[in-house]
Amino acid sequence: MKFVDEYRDAELGRALSAQILSLVEPGRHYKVMEVCGGHTHSIYKYGIDDLLPENVELVHGPGCPVCVIPMGRVDDGIAIARREGVIFTCFGDMLRVPGSERTLLDAKADGADIRMVYSPLDAMRIAKSNPDRDVVFFAIGFETTAPSTALTLKRAKAEGVSNFLCMCNHVTIIPPLRALLTSPDMRLDGFIGPGHVSTIVGARPFEFIPADYGKPLVTSGFEPLDILQSIQMILAQLAEGRSEIENQYKRVVPYEGNRAALAVMAEVFALRPHFEWRGLGFITQSALRLSDAYAEFDAERRYEVPGVRVADPKACQCGEVLKGVIKPWECKVFGTACTPEHAIGTCMVSPEGACAAYYNYGRFAREKELV
């Protein structure tokens, strides 16, 4: 398949692996963070860890949109979903994210009309088919997904679909990266930049990472050779004493981003003063709400929600996993009390979550090592 097969060539993979080996200094430990959950998934799926020298460690970042939703927001969603006459819609993996007591799937089993959709456009179609009911879309995701919500809201406004509402949980990638870089318990050598977010925002917003913190960032695609080449580019920068933004994913990422997407986002959304991230706490200007021009579509303005901050369960260490402080298998409940079937933490729910990715693809290799 075009744009896929050529990025899975084993011979080229071995050549890149050899180049990576030639770039590392023996005795130095390298920590490279993959920001995006899609990269985490690919790394485990394709066993990219196994192609790296032992002293190159990949650290998983906060870029899984489902993983960073705090329990209180799930409770708020459930409160709306339980209202008479509401059809509540969300992406499939969001259904299984635990709130303080229940998941959306539990609420659906209790009788709430909660439906899984593939896109906000699907949710709007449901609204058009049910003009006598309010249809609420629980919007999540980084800048990759936010334009889709924005375009759908524009469409709803243009077509007068007034029973389509949005509970906006979109987040932005730069503020948590800043928070991580200023965290005293985090020492990183470089970043694999989020490829799909970068198709929207471009590479420019990441310039502060080399400029202020002296760390290289390489925007990367998601196929195995993309990721290997990006690691090679980061290590080459470190070997040459450079720290720059480089773009490995040139086939889709323009340096300036997608202007049409940025324009529609600016029209439909406004920055929230602060937003709670699971594991990371409140981060200033790190999330989006609907702009005043789209207030009529804002579910949080239409309905009262509890808005209560809920602490994560004590056993769950998603926060440390999201910050890259611990590996998934170092969590006390990983693979025992917490599995994809019965997740305690969000990182075990989404396929992009580090715990789910590791559980699905990596744990058997590790069990073999331990034996």
Partner 1 sequence: MRVLAVDDERGLALCTDGQGRRETVEIALVLPVAPSDELLVHAATAIAKEGSQ
Of residues 6 and 240, the one with the C-beta less far from partner 1: 6
Length of the chain: 371
How many residues bind partner 1, per CB under 8 A? 30
Of residues 250 and 309, the one with the C-beta less far from partner 1: 250
250 binds partner 1 (CB under 8 A): yes
- 213, containing H or E segment: helix 208-213
**Least CB distance from residue 332 to partner 1, whole Å?**
34
Residue 134 to residue 297: CA distance in whole angstroms? 10
DSSP code per residue over 283-327: EET-BEEE-GGGGGGBHHHHS-------PPPTT--HHHHHTTSS-
Q: Which of 344, 347, 352 is nearest to 277 (CA)?
A: 347
Of 122, 244, 296, 320, the one binding partner 1 (CB under 8 A) is: 122
Q: Which of 138, 97, 149, 121 is nearest to 268 (CA)?
A: 149
Residue 190 to residue 28: CA distance in whole angstroms? 14
Task: Identify the three-state secondary structure at position 257.
Answer: coil
Of residues 147 and 216, the one with the C-beta less far from partner 1: 147
Residue 234 to residue 247: CA distance in whole angstroms? 11
Question: One symbol per residue from 145 to 174: x for binding partner 1 (CB under 8 A), - otherwise; what is it?
Answer: x-xxx-xx----------------------
Of 118, 184, 185, 369, the one binding partner 1 (CB under 8 A) is: 118
Tokens read off for 186: 């985090």
**Least CB distance from residue 251 to partner 1, whole Å?**
5
Of residues 70 and 147, the one with the C-beta less far from partner 1: 147
Residues of span 194-223 touching partner 1 by CB under 8 A: 196, 199-200
Of 260, 266, 293, 295, the one binding partner 1 (CB under 8 A) is: 260
Of residues 4 and 311, the one with the C-beta less far from partner 1: 4
Of residues 123 and 283, the one with the C-beta less far from partner 1: 123
Of 36, 261, 356, 357, the one binding partner 1 (CB under 8 A) is: 261
Q: For Cα atoms 257, 236, 232, give the angle at the middle one, nearest 5 degrees.
A: 70
**Least CB distance from residue 94 to partner 1, whole Å?**
12
Report the relative pairing of strands 86-90 and 274-277 from DSSP bridges: unpaired
Question: One symbol per residue from 79 to 98: x for binding partner 1 (CB under 8 A), - otherwise; what is it?
Answer: ------------x-------
Of 254, 313, 340, 351, the one binding partner 1 (CB under 8 A) is: 254
Of residues 20 and 201, the one with the C-beta less far from partner 1: 201
- CA separation, residue 181 to residues 55, 178, 213, 243 (Å): 21, 5, 8, 15
Of residues 17 and 144, the one with the C-beta less far from partner 1: 144
- CA separation, residue 312 to residues 72, 99, 309, 316, 343 (Å): 10, 9, 10, 7, 13
144 binds partner 1 (CB under 8 A): yes
Q: Which of 223, 218, 221, 228 is nearest to 192 (CA)?
A: 218
Tokens read off for 178: 């800043």
Of 56, 177, 264, 299, the one binding partner 1 (CB under 8 A) is: 264
Report the relative pairing of strands 86-90 and 114-116 from DSSP bridges: parallel
229 binds partner 1 (CB under 8 A): no
Residues of span 329-348 touching partner 1 by CB under 8 A: none
Where on the chain is the footprint of partner 1 (CB under 8 A)? Answer: 1-4, 91, 118-122, 141, 144-145, 147-149, 151-152, 196, 199-200, 250-254, 258, 260-261, 264
